[in-house]
Amino acid sequence: MDPWKAHGTVLETERGPHGAFERAITVFLAGAECPFTCSFCDLWRWTLDGPTPVGAIPVQLARALEPLARPLPERLKLYNASNFFDARAVPREDLPRIAELARPFGAVTVESHASTIGPSTLEFKTLLSGRLEVAVGLETIHPVAVEHLNKRLELARFDSAAEFLITHDIDLRAFVLLGAPYVPVQESIAWTVRTVEYAVARGAKRVAIIPVRGGNGEMERLQALGAFVPPTLAQLEDALEQCLAAVGPSGRRAVVTADLWDVERLPACQACRPQRIARIRAMNLGTGSRLPAPGSCPACA
């Protein structure tokens, strides 16, 4: 990985609370590896072998933003495959320059483990001209799975981080897994719905459902042991639909979306795959009711 060059950018439209739409640019930054070696994660493949050099993140960000057409999107998302508030990944002396580069945006989203949220979070919020949102991986509240994910995150710690953010007027976005290892496959969707409800009850205004994918070696090992079954595209569609019903599809309580990164890797039959993906995209934007459900499909149910 080149510490002076971001991996890339993605421009997308997101639905916000209460149905508002905004454009968001995500910059995928190269930085130090996350110290929390979660069993389901493969983001370490996009990180540096050592600490992020001082000055590298601002250079990456400036180079990534320079070619963007004006007017700029409303939201800037900085994802560094680690923890934004870990000084080893994002040196604190770089925060003022990062905030300066983020000045044209009305909102900034960063990702961080719940245990790294604290004084540096408030420091960055003070530096920003726009609103700060922190994305935190809750993953699952399944009691057995929580103990096996190697995330080292007790629910009490998530609760504390969520309360800290809400108290200091910082928005909370949560990541929730579908198909977490050690969750029985027949209970997978139900636990995803419960976890989304848990996050919303603690103040999350946006929740992204992320289907667990193989490819990092550990998931393949767990699959061979019978502890992991890859979720299907149909399950992702069903989970999103149930979560929207649970929290309200209008987004008054929270906006719930399904992550479609590498969606083609999810098991599904080719006959109904395009229709299911289109429906998920529509539900992400709050227009899913306009598209009929594909119906039962034995190949991907």
Cα torsion 290, 288, 261, 301: sign? negative
CATH of the domain at 155: 3.20.20.70
How far is 65 from 9, CA to CA, in rounded Å?
Answer: 9
Residue count (the chain):
301
How far is 193 from 79, CA to CA, in rounded Å?
Answer: 25
Which pLDDT score is estimated for 135? 98
For the record, the structure tokens of 99 come out as 């905030």
Query: Does residue 74 fall inside a structural domain?
Result: yes
Report angle CA 216, 38, 26 to the nearest 5 degrees.
Answer: 80
Query: Does residue 122 fall inside a structural domain?
Result: yes
Using pLDDT thresholds of 50, 70 and 90, give the confidence band for residue 39.
Answer: confident
**Domain of 34, in residue numbers:** 8-267
How far is 54 from 48, CA to CA, in rounded Å?
Answer: 13
Query: Does residue 150 fall inside a structural domain?
Result: yes
In this predicted structure, the answer to whether residue 300 has a pLDDT above a threshold of 90 is no
How far is 132 from 124, CA to CA, in rounded Å?
Answer: 8
What type of residue is 270? Q
Q: Are the C-beta atoms of residues 300 and 233 closer than 8 Å to each other?
A: yes
Query: Does residue 3 fall inside a structural domain?
Result: no
The tens digit of pLDDT for each residue in 168-179 reads 999 999 999 999
Beta bridge partners of 27: 9, 78
The tens digit of pLDDT for each residue in 212-233 reads 988 888 889 999 999 999 999 9
How far is 190 from 13, CA to CA, in rounded Å?
Answer: 28
Query: Does residue 36 fall inside a structural domain?
Result: yes
Q: The pTM is what?
A: 0.93
Q: What is the average per-residue pLDDT within 93-107?
A: 98
Query: Does residue 236 fall inside a structural domain?
Result: yes
Query: Does residue 278 fall inside a structural domain?
Result: no
Domain count across the chain: 1
Q: Are the C-beta atoms of residues 74 and 23 closer than 8 Å to each other?
A: yes
How far is 48 from 91, CA to CA, in rounded Å?
Answer: 14
